[in-house]
Amino acid sequence: MSININPFSEASTGGPADSPRLALAELLAALAAFVLLAGALPPVMYWIAADWFPAMPFSRFCSRALLVAAVLSFGPVLWRQWRLSQAEAEAAGEAKSGGWKGPALALAAGFLFGIASLVLLCAGHIWTGERVWSGGLLVRTTLSALATGWAVSVAEELVFRGGLQLLMMRVCGNVAGVILTAFIFATAHFLKPEGFAPDGLSVPWHAGFQALGWAFAPVLDPETYGTAYIAYLLVGLILGGVAWGTGNLWAAIGLHAGWVFALKVGSIVTQPPTGPHTAMGDLLTGAPSIVVLGGTCVAVIMWLWTKQMFVGKQFAEGVRQ
C-alpha cells in the first residue's frame, strides 16, 4: 500500500469537497481552541507535576503547554486536511506509487543542498569576521545533530507544509497560502515564554494567559528579532515553494533536515570571536544569512516561474470557491 504524500497537486487544493469557507471556519476554531488551551493548561500542568520537578521553572511548563495545545487544537484539523488531500488525489488517479527511488533521491538532494547552503553561510560569517573556526566536533555530537535534523524536519514539514500550508491554500489561494504559512512558521520559532514568572509564590489559574501574552509580545516589536526573523521567513518561503513546486514533501523534508543538521554542527565548529559557543539559531543572523537564504529564495521563485506555477489555476485555485 503506497502512502500519498502529495497534498499540493491540482486535485487537492481548492476542490469542491472542501470549500475555503469551511476550511476558514476550521482554522478559526482551531486558533480559538489553541489560545484557550495554551492559557489554561500551564497552571494545571504545574499543579500536577511541580512536586515531581521542583527545579523546573513555570516558563518551562508554559513551553510544554504550547506544544500540547498545538497538537490538541490544530492536530485534528490538519489530519482531516491530510486525509482529504489523499482522497482527492486518489479520485484524480494521482496516488500511484512510483517506488522508493524517487523519494530517496529527493530526500538526498534536498539534504545535500541544505548542507551546502549552510556551509556557504558559515563561510560568509567567517569571511565577515562575525564568527571564527573553533573545531571540536565529535562523532557523538555529529550523530545527535543528524538524528535531530531528520526528526525535526519530518515533524515540522508534516505540520507546516503538509497540513497548515494545505489548509491556508484552500482558504486564500496557493501563493497566498505559501506566504502566510511562511509567516506563521517564522513567528512560531520565536514564541518562547522563557523568563516569565508569575507574581508571588503561588501560580494562579490565569498565569498561563499572562505567559501567553509574554510569549506573543515580541511579535509586535520587530527589532527584537532582527535579521533572524527575516531568515526564518525566507526559510519558510523556500520550503513552502519547494513543496508546492515538487507536489510532495520529500525534497522539503531533506532540505529542512540538511539545514538543521548544518546549523547544529556549524554552531559547534564556529563561534563569535570574543564569546562562547552560541545557539544554532544565531547562525541565521547577520548579512550572510540574508544573502544566502535570499538568493536561494529567488532561485526557488524562478524555478516555480519556469513551471508556470504563477498563472491560471495554479496561482489562484481556492480563492473564491
Domain regions of the chain by residue span: 1-97+194-217, 102-190+225-321
Averaged over 210-236, what is the pLDDT? 77
pLDDT > 70 fraction of the chain, expressed in percent and rounded: 79
Q: Residue 254 has what pLDDT?
A: 94
Confidence (pLDDT) at 225: 63
Cell triple for residue 99? 517506488
* More reliable by pLDDT, 17 or 306: 306
Which residue has 495554551 as its cell numbers?
A: 38
Is the full-model pTM beyond 0.75? Answer: yes
CA-CA distances (angstroms) from residue 11 to 85, 159, 314, 317, 318? Answer: 8, 20, 11, 10, 11
DSSP string, 221-238: -GGGTTHHHHHHHHHHHH
pLDDT score for 4: 41
Q: Say what the pLDDT of residue 73 is.
A: 87
Per cent of the chain over pLDDT 90 is: 21
Q: What values do phi and psi take at 58, rounded to 5?
A: -60, -35
Average predicted confidence (pLDDT) for the chain? 79
Integer Cα distance of 15 and 286 in angstroms: 42
Give the pLDDT of residue 200: 59
Residue 113 predicted with pLDDT over 90: yes
Q: Is the pLDDT at 237 greater than 90, yes or no?
A: yes
| Cα angle value 305/228/284 (rounded, 5°) | 80
Q: Determine whether 248 is exposed, middle or buried from the number of CB atoms within 10 Å of its CB (0-12, 13-18, 19+).
A: buried
The mean pLDDT of 141-166, rounded to a whole number, is 87
Question: Average pLDDT in the 188-206 region?
Answer: 76
pLDDT number for residue 17: 46
pLDDT exceeds 90 at position 36? yes
For 113-120, what is the mean pLDDT?
Answer: 91
Q: From CA 318, how far away is CA 13, in angstroms rounded?
A: 7
Mean pLDDT along residues 197-222? 75
pLDDT at residue 298 is higher than 90 = yes
What mean pLDDT is predicted for residues 72-101?
72
Tens of pLDDT along 67-76? 888 888 888 8
Write down the residue that cell numbers 493548561 correspond to.
41
Residue 316 has pLDDT above 50, yes or no: no
Model confidence at 276, in pLDDT bands (50, 70, 90)? Answer: low
Joined grid coordinates for residue 126: 567567517
* Burial label, 73 (beta-carbon count in 10 A; 0-12, 13-18, 19+): buried
The residue-averaged pLDDT of 136-149 equals 83
Which has the minimum average pLDDT: 37-41, 86-90, 282-286?
Answer: 86-90
Do residues 288 and 125 touch, judged by C-beta distance below 8 A? yes
